Chain A
Amino acid sequence: MDIIGKRKIWYAISLIMIVPGLISLFVFGLRLGIDFNSGQLSVVKGTVDSAKVEAAAAQIGFKDVLVVATGSGQTEIRFADPSPQAQHEANHQKLKTALAVQGLEELSFDSVGPSVSKDIARNAIVSLLLASLAIVFYVAFAFRNAPPPVSPLSFGVMAIIALLHDSLFVLGVFSLLGHFFKIEIDALFVTAILTVIGFSVHDTIVVFDRIRENLRREKGEFGHIVNVSILETLARSINTSLTVLLTLMALFLFGGHSIRLFVLALLIGIASGTYSSIFNASPLLVTWHSYKLKRLAKEAQIEAKAGKKAKA
């Protein structure tokens, strides 16, 4: 199987998968939950007459009331309480009473103040950046003695491109889900992205490790060695992600509702991570290598010309 030779096709598939989400990210953005936006969220059991709930919430004085059925026998009621913080809990109790009158049981309640949500958002970005940076340096360090023609840093850079691929894909999907299905992202989503990053690199490193080993043992064209390495690790890559996806699938289907979206993000991200480690990260090493070769050749040509001129 020639994976390296068809690399442009794999890049194109990646682009087709990522670009719609990316556009959605720019146009619609992400639908931020109360963790990032502050506000209140009450989850109740059963389906809800939304007009009734909205009326009750408006009477208490809540703003931006939004009632969403989650599709697993639960309903989320989002609102913002403009009254002073000290009255929030009393107001929440009023809502609970109004719900109880309709025979609805509250399963959980969250309230996030503006200062907290600002911190969560900042912290999410900081930890994403920190994790990515730490991983580049780690990969560069782990491959510090990689034999030529690839430099340790380019291993790190390609690993980062692969993890950007995976996190952008997940972000894009959730941006689309947010726009069309009102699905919001919360603090747990950041955890999912970080885990996807960890897994993506985990997968990529296994292939890189084989490339390094084969570079030491075999002589030959770089693209060929990379191709062989990918094929040798293919069964492992697929089997590993199969087992992880199987466990995640079990969690998605049978685990509690509260982590379903978290698991969905992991499912999408890890599937994408497997793809990118096979079809992006390692082929990109080859693309980068041949680009460098071409540039060197060009420089050599220019030098040769300059040399001729100088002679003449």
Chain B
Amino acid sequence: MSLRLKFGLILALAVVTALIAIPREDAIFKFFGIKNVKLQVKQGLDLQGGAQLVFQADLAKTPAGQHDQAMSSLVQVMQRRANIGGTQEVVVQQQGKDRVSVSLPGVKDVNAAIQQIGQTATLSFAVQASQGASPSLLAITGKDVSSADVTIDPQTSKPVVSLVLKGSAVKTFGDVTTQLNQTGGYLTILLDDQILFGPATVSSPITDGHAQLQGNFASVSDAKNIANLINSGALPVPVTLVGQNTVGPTLGKESVSHSLVAGLIGLATVAVFMLLYYRLAGAVAVSALVIYTTITLTLYKLSAFVPGYTIVLTLAGIAGFILSIGMAVDANILIFERLKEELRAGKSFVAATETAFDRAWTSIRDSNVSTLITCTILYLSSTATPIIRGFAVTLGLGVLVSLFTAVVITRTLLRLVIRQKWGRNPKWYGLKDSEVQL
């Protein structure tokens, strides 16, 4: 590949990534006729506000071989329940062997969410021959309910939960209600051992599987919650809340603006330092650094399209990103210091540049690999919190991108610069004339 072609490609990469990376990129897309594309760096709970809940599953009563199965169905049920609240982009994940973490961005009422998600919600049906008699449980559970809904009783104008049974439960329920209707027995429906309905007599047999529960629900939303719980199914194992992390929306917004300011100041200081110390080479490094930033932001934004690998930016993640800028600069510094040395040793600009890259490469590679090792260990450690993961991902990605920008972009730009006559002035590299024999 010719140098010119490479430069063209780098320029194209810079322009494309810059267009994607800048905020409000959708306005630009629209200009080119691409509509309805809104890219966004996904923000973690600490930046957008919200709650992270950690539930511990009690697997003591579950047979050893069925733990994994129980956990995955637990995650599914919790996912269904958490999404009901209308909060955006809920993430439910298994954590370790027996924990489930639930991320609720922008949730307002954490207490209600905890109740809603963590309740076991086992539905049971019991019959009694008379009010004092001992109740016996029917073979109908929440699994036999095909749907639960809330309606308003036109006569009492109170909320009513209506259940629709399915399968063999329709017949069982029909038989039981027919019998109760004749004997005058009582029917009770319980949720987690708390009475939802009854004990009440059955005025007419229910053979179509449609049951109306006129429980004493405090409000429509109360009834809706119960209907939702029944719809999403019971948790296969009981859970308790063992961890909670809630960030208010004020703090999140503050954090975003603070880190933006810090990031910009950090970048600017580094740029000024590089320009002052390495002059023309510094300018090359700053260009590479700008492209580095746009590539990284582009990757953040595009990762939203890859389910499972979406990069969620957290406060620690921003720290990791800013830190990786430092690493990206280091690669440049290693190359430039080497370049100065080779120039001092009397090599021509072309020869010095090539040697500098070759020699600096082993240092760049070896040192960055050790950082990548740390990132991998941070990421993989079994109970790594989202904070630590976020940090490891952004730092690791930053290191990889910085390897690319140092080796490809800095190198190409520097080669291009030293081809020009004005680009071969030792002064422009922070060297004194006396240090170099030309």
Contact = CB atoms under 8 A, between A and B. Distances in A.
Given A113-B243, A116-B54, A188-B316, A266 B323 contact: yes
Interface string B264-283: 01110110011001000000
B323 A139 contact: no
Nearest to A238: B333
B367 A130 contact: no
Interface string A14-48: 00000000000000000000000000000101000
The 10 closest A-B pairs by CB, nearest first: A113-B242, A244-B326, A198-B374, A250-B266, A247-B266, A256-B255, A254-B262, A255-B262, A202-B367, A111-B244
Contacts of B114: 89
B336 to A, nearest CB: 9
Interface of B: 46, 54, 56, 96, 99, 110-111, 114, 240-248, 250-251, 254-255, 258-259, 261-263, 265-267, 269-270, 273-274, 277, 315-316, 318-319, 322-323, 325-327, 329-330, 333-334, 337, 341, 359, 362-363, 366-371, 373-375, 377-378, 381-385, 387-388, 391-392, 395
A127 B378 contact: yes
A191 B111 contact: no
B80 to A, nearest CB: 21
B366 A126 contact: no
A201 B266 contact: no
Interface string A99-138: 0000001111111110110011001001100110011001
A259 interface: yes
A240 interface: yes
A90 B244 CA distance: 13
Given A195-B374, A199-B371, A259-B319, A110 B244 contact: yes
Contacts of A115: 56, 242
Given A123-B382, A251-B319, A256-B315, A198 B370 contact: yes
Contact of B333 (A113, A239, A248): A239
Interface stretch (A53-61, A174-182, A203-211): A203-211
Interface in A237-283: 239-240, 242-244, 246-251, 253-256, 258-259, 262-263, 266
B248 A127 contact: no
**A interface secondary structure, majority:** helix
A194 interface: yes
A236 interface: yes
A303 interface: no
B273 A242 contact: yes
Given A135-B374, A197-B374, A198-B371, 18 more contacts: A85-B241, A89-B244, A107-B247, A108-B246, A127-B378, A127-B381, A142-B369, A191-B316, A194-B374, A195-B374, A195-B391, A240-B329, A243-B273, A250-B262, A251-B259, A251-B322, A255-B319, A266-B323
A126 B370 CA distance: 18
B270 A247 contact: yes
A255 B328 CA distance: 21
Given A88-B241, A113-B242, A120 B316 contact: no
Contacts of B266: 246-251
B218 to A, nearest CB: 17
Interface in A208-224: 209-210, 213
15 contacts: A89-B241, A112-B243, A119-B383, A123-B381, A127-B378, A131-B374, A134-B377, A187-B385, A194-B377, A195-B391, A202-B367, A205-B370, A248-B323, A251-B322, A258-B46
A312 interface: no
Contact of A246 (B111, B244, B273, B277): B273
A310 interface: no
A112 B387 CA distance: 15
A256 B254 contact: yes
Contacts of A199: 371
Given A108-B248, A259-B319, A120 B383 contact: yes
A83 interface: no
Contacts of B251: 43, 107-108, 256, 258
A235 interface: yes
A86 interface: yes
A199 B373 CA distance: 11
A119 B388 CA distance: 14
A308 to B, nearest CB: 49
A299 interface: no
Contacts of B382: 123
A262 B316 contact: yes
Contacts of B369: 138, 142
A86 B391 contact: no
A108 B247 contact: yes
Contacts of A239: 273, 277, 333, 337
Contacts of A108: 245-248, 251
Nearest to A124: B381
Nearest to A130: B377
A198 B392 CA distance: 12
Given A89-B241, A120-B383, A253-B262, A138 B373 contact: yes
A83 B263 CA distance: 43
A232 B356 CA distance: 13
Interface centre among A111, A191, A209, A235 (most CB of B within 10 A): A191
